[in-house]
Structure 1
Amino acid sequence: MTLAIALEPAPIETDAHGVVRVAKTRVTLDTVVTAFLEGCTPEEIAEQYPSLQLPDIYLVIGYYLRHRDEVHTYLVERQRQTDAIQQEAEQRFNPIGIRDRLLARRNQSR
């Protein structure tokens, strides 16, 4: 009996916004890699994200382990983008004192 050896590509793809997602789901590469780095097993990740298949999680982790530098660079850039978006949102919609402003508005309408 012979065993067919086939390379399985990592089930990741980049969406229209440049976000790398896993296996045609909304789960991002960031999510899986971060969970793995925080000590979650692939089985625990599968429990947390039921839209992911366990073999796909193993393939994604394998991809990360073989391409640490590239994935790390991608994750750093994603964090930079996230921070910039959050900073812009906070400048446009100042969260400080929002509760007081909402309560004052509610009291004015009474």
Structure 2
Amino acid sequence: MALAIALEPTPIETDPYGVVRVAKTRVTLDTIVTAFLEGCTPEEIGEQYPSLQLPDIYLVIGYYLRHRDEVHIYLAERQHQANMIQQEAEQRFNPIGIRDRLLARRDQSR
């Protein structure tokens, strides 16, 4: 009996905002790759994200291993975007002294 070899498509897609997600879930490629690089096994990743199927996790890790440079560029761009958003938020809503302001607001409402 011959083994039927089939190519499995990588279960990743880009959402309308340019974020790469896994297998029609809300879990991002960033999440899987970061967990893998931190030493998590595919099984541990599956335990942390039960919406993912174990075979999909293996396929995503395989994709990462075959396309490391492109994925690292993507991850660097995502980190840059996150930093820009954080800076913008901190400029609009100064985090310095926020605890004191919130406590003062709470004391005023009593």
1:88 maps to a residue whose letter is E
Q: Give deviations 1:60-85, integer Å, cap 9, x for gaps.
A: 00000000000000000000001110
Shift of 1:2: 1.3
Shift of 1:104: 1.8
Question: Which position in structure 1 is the counterpart of 2:51?
Answer: 51
Shift of 1:109: 3.6
Question: Which position in structure 2 is the counterpart of 1:27?
Answer: 27
Shift of 1:105: 2.2
Question: Which position in structure 1 is the counterpart of 2:91?
Answer: 91
**Count of matched residue pairs:** 110
Distance 2:107 2:80 in 1: 40
Distance 2:76 2:47 in 1: 26
Structure 2 gaps of 5+ residues are none
Structure 1 gaps of 5+ residues are none
Shift of 1:95: 1.2
Quote the RMSD (CA, aligned, Å): 0.9
- Alignment partner of 2:107: what SS? helix
After TM superposition, which residue ranges in structure 1, 4 or more long, deviate above 6 angstroms? none
Is 1:37 aligned to 2:37, yes or no?
A: yes
**TM-score, reference length from structure 2:** 0.96
- Alignment partner of 1:94: what SS? coil
